[in-house]
Amino acid sequence: MLNVKINGKAYRVREGTTILEACREVGIHIPTLCYLEEISEEGSCGVCVVEVKGAKTLQRSCVTEVREGMEIFTDTPLVREARKLNVELILAHHNIDCPVCERNGSCELQDIANRVGVKDVRFEQAPFFYKEDLSAPVVRDPSKCIFCQRCVNVCDEIQSVSALSIAHRGMRTFVGAPFGNLLVDTPCVNCGQCIMYCPTGALTERDDTMRVWDALNDPDKYVVASTAPSIRASLGELFGYPPGTFVRGKVATALKMLGFEKVFDTNFSADLTIVEEASELIERAKNNEKLPIMTSCCPAWIKFLEEYYPEFIPNVSSAKSPQGMMGAVVKSYFAEQMSIPPEKIFHVSVMPCTAKKFEAERRETWSHEFPDVDAVITTRELAQMIKEAGIDFKNLPDSEYDNPLGEYSGAGTIFGVTGGVMEAALRTAYDLFTGKKLEDVEFKPLRNFEGIRVAEVMLDGVNMRVAVANTLGKARELLEAIKSGEEKIHFMEVMACPGGCIGGGGQPIPSTDEIIRKRAEALYTDDEKSTVRKSYLNPWVRELYKNFLGEPGSELAHRLLHTHYEKRLLWEKVGKSN
């Protein structure tokens, strides 16, 4: 422990602590902009400067460690003026279009400017040298970039994708795709975590709301919506509810008020995914082939595998994601039930995920000559549509989702949490594999937010090792362990975003660890309250197989509900072309 003084008061703090950490521990707030604990500690923005007795210059508190006897001042006139000056310099190199910016009201730069007392920018606006990149579901606007490098560090440290880098110097400094490429020409997996950590509107999702509005106003279109498991635990935040508030009934009401003919629940197709995936797992486990089997629900994970580990593509379940299965069923079974030509149905998927926009465009996921999912909007985009329509979300009554694609099991709802797909699959696989009924359906060892969790499950005398990877960086670690023989795994789940879909790139900002945990609690509570907690026991799923699909793995099920993947190696091609 070290003895220090902060603003004239004596404290004891741990050795190795930065000034910023020390101040936070004793309840003193220092503003930060570029700083992300253990991820981005660049000290580039200069907003966190403090005065240290004896030092010739102001110190950047996020990268300066405390020393024995140090005297720190966090609120002197010099400190306040320096912070204001640094923010003004950032604003002089920033496109100040706040009223029309995607992040207006949730922008950290906007908040910091208010906090440090910036009333005007004394410097001439710098020229902008780079155009907006609209090539991918993640949109980059260089005119709003403040070069904090948070996106670069998150993409590298958390996701191990390295699709972004910083280049050039001075006025022409640029954060974007390496070699000057568009984002679509990189191994970017479209996870959107760069959006979640960007403090400004420099990174956003592609806005697809106008396409949805156009469809809703087209008399020749029969417009339906399906919503992901995690939406019900996160959308409320954008209307003033505490994180983790369960708003499923209000979501259904809002979508119907927007003009959707039917509102379906992607939890239903999550159950369908489990039935197909569990059947595939049982077959491979019995024959001891293509193991470990890997989940295919996360499109960012799938693209990551295609780019970096194509040798594992045969291990991935051929089952489509819940979004993909819902789209296929909507434009086959539901269209047939309603006697509607499938090409007249406009299917909108509401997802917590920017990568789902990419997935919907993948032709190998289509079951027709046209997309099964016509538009994907994020949680944030749905909130914007509700606000544009003047709907008072907080005072909406609850309503029900529409059948036959609106009912779900508790297993379907926990798909939104890291480890949830694995747990849901094991509940069904156990019963189908052993012929017995699993009584304790909660796999507690899988219910935490550790980067990698490994557990053993006994299935009728077969010891099955299962693993869950939380984020792509941890997936890389696990894959390397499997390649080296260090780990022997039978079944593996990967979700790209921290915490799973509840921390997805399309969710409300911010999505802190605490907020993500509260969203997870809401989904686990919904599971606990469910009468049916195993996917294969969902009566509407059983009805679908009985009257339409036949049985899991049937020829029709394979044609509609399964797909294939291919190696990309785009990163290698980009490097060679440059």
User: Catalytic positions, please?
Assistant: 277, 280, 297, 317, 356, 359, 364, 501
Tokens of 382: 């749905």
Tokens of 57: 């210059």
232 within 8 A of 526, measured Cβ to Cβ: yes
Distance CA 318, CA 422 (A): 16
The phi, psi pair for 562, rounded to 5°, reads: -125, 160
Helix (H) or strand (E) holding 3: strand 2-6
The phi, psi pair for 62, rounded to 5°, reads: -75, -15
376 within 8 A of 504, measured Cβ to Cβ: no
522 within 8 A of 236, measured Cβ to Cβ: no
Amino acid in the structure at residue 400: E
The CA-atom distances, in angstroms, between 76 and each of 73, 83, 254, 556 are 6, 11, 50, 72
The phi, psi pair for 457, rounded to 5°, reads: -125, 130
186 within 8 A of 177, measured Cβ to Cβ: yes
Tokens of 549: 């699909």
DSSP string, 68-118: TT-EEESS-HHHHHHHHHHHHHHHHTS---GGG-TTTTS-HHHHHHHHHT-
Q: Coil, helix or strand for 375?
A: strand
Distance CA 264, CA 249 (A): 12
70 within 8 A of 4, measured Cβ to Cβ: yes
Helix (H) or strand (E) holding 556: helix 555-561
| 3-state SS string for 425-466 | HHHHHHHHHHCCCCCCCCCHHHCCCCCEEEEEEEECCEEEEE
Distance CA 323, CA 376 (A): 10
